[in-house]
Amino acid sequence: MPVDLPSTLLFLGRLLLGGGFVFAGLRNIQNAAFLTQLMAARGVPQARLALWAGIVLQIVAGALVIAGLWTAIAAAVLVVFLIAATPMFHNFWDHQGPDRASRINGFVGNVALSGGFLTLIAQSV
């Protein structure tokens, strides 16, 4: 565990960013049937395979970010993942009312996560 403040803050940032994706990947395992159907309905080819590839990517890249291993690559992979997943799962333009607001919040959250990962990439290179 780092002892100086900047290193401690960087570790905590990596833990929170990467940990969120490890948690999401593990949660997606529980929702795999529903998510596969949703992805197939949105026209994703090989939806089941794409979902499981995304789950593995979330867990592995998230763990790498936490560990500080290949951080820039893992963070870049997660940015690409967010670019693909955000319009698929947070398509607020197709919804109205409270569901639209919820999807807008998810969309904005993923944009903010992308900013965090870009910051982590800048710090790592």
Tens digits of pLDDT across the chain (125 residues): 567 999 999 999 999 999 999 999 999 999 999 999 999 999 999 999 999 999 999 999 999 999 999 999 999 999 999 999 999 888 899 899 999 999 999 999 999 999 999 999 999 88
> How many domains are there within the chain?
1
> Which residue range(s) make up the domain with 102?
5-124
Contacts 24+ apart (CB under 8 A), 90-94: none
Contact 58, 24 (CB under 8 A): yes
Structure tokens at 72: 């820039």
pLDDT at 62: 98
Q: How far is CA 70 from CA 12, 73, 74, 75, 80, in A?
A: 17, 5, 6, 9, 16
Give the pTM: 0.91
CA 6 to chain CA centroid, nearest Å = 24
Structure tokens at 113: 């996560």
